Amino acid sequence: MVEGRDIGTVVAPHAQLKIYLHADIDARAQRRENEMVESIDRNEVGKSLASRDEVDSTRAVSPLTQAEDAAVIDSTRLSLQEVVDQVWKWLKQRNLLGLPTIAVIGRPNVGKSTLVNRMIGRREAIVEDTPGVTRDRVKYEAEWNGRRFFLIDTGGWEVKPEGISEKIAAGAEAAIKEADLVMFVVDAQVGALDEDQSLVDLLRKSGKKVILVGNKIDNAEDEADGYALWNWV
């Protein structure tokens, strides 16, 4: 919803996104002049707009009133495309693009963040050999083979977490609930552990669609380890 003169705060109070779009009198008069086929006096247009604003501002429910939860865009010096770009920015920030969400899940140190960086095409997720580096789930916008989606990087899930690990595991489980699809990452070199099996049980209970990802397959010998995961599942 774009909120302005003709859409007041009472029209759609429960809209997921309200954008209060405004511009100064000179910019509005210039735009009105550009829209007209016949020549008009910009000064007269400016006076007319100012007069209308004054009338609107005195109404019991003024269409010029900004909703408390509205995002604000001053379009005075912006082109139409720049305004559209600003709207897209707010849609992204509010997660309102309607894109599918994929959660990357796995126990600690199976290469989840490395995989996320590869999929988003840049080094955003923190990558180290030390388990537990990723502590909070982080959502990225990604594109793969022409398909756009959100990708959630999560910390390593553990069966019996303690201390900070409890928060990490809870974040991973929240990502599973949010996701439309789960990428379950397993270290193919190490193979499936009891902890992986516990995570399989959790994913089955979630009812979510799951893709099994055998990670850390770097050569032909490792490929055999990857194939072995199919027998495990």
Model confidence at 98: pLDDT above 60:
yes
Q: Which domains does the chain have, with CATH numbers?
A: 2-93 (3.40.50.300), 101-232 (3.40.50.300)
| Of 85 and 55, more confident | 85
CA distance 50 to 62: 15
CA distance 214 to 223: 9
- Supply the pLDDT for residue 141: 85
Highest mean pLDDT among 40-54, 161-175, 186-200: 186-200
Model confidence at 182: pLDDT above 90:
yes
Q: Mind listing the pLDDT tens digit for each residue in 199-223? A: 999 999 999 999 999 888 887 777 8
CA distance 199 to 182: 12
Contacts of 171 (CB under 8 A, 6+ apart): 135, 136, 137, 154, 155
Q: Mind listing the pLDDT tens digit for each residue in 24-80? A: 989 988 888 887 767 778 888 888 888 887 887 787 766 677 777 888 899 999 998
- Supply the pLDDT for residue 133: 45
- Supply the pLDDT for residue 140: 87
Mean pLDDT for 118-146 is 70
**What is the amino acid identity at position 150?**
F
CA distance 7 to 27: 20
pLDDT band at 130 (very low <50, low <70, confident <90, very high): very low
CA distance 104 to 139: 10
pTM (2 d.p.): 0.57
Q: E strands along the chain, which residues?
A: 2-3, 19-22, 71-74, 101-105, 138-144, 147-153, 181-187, 209-215
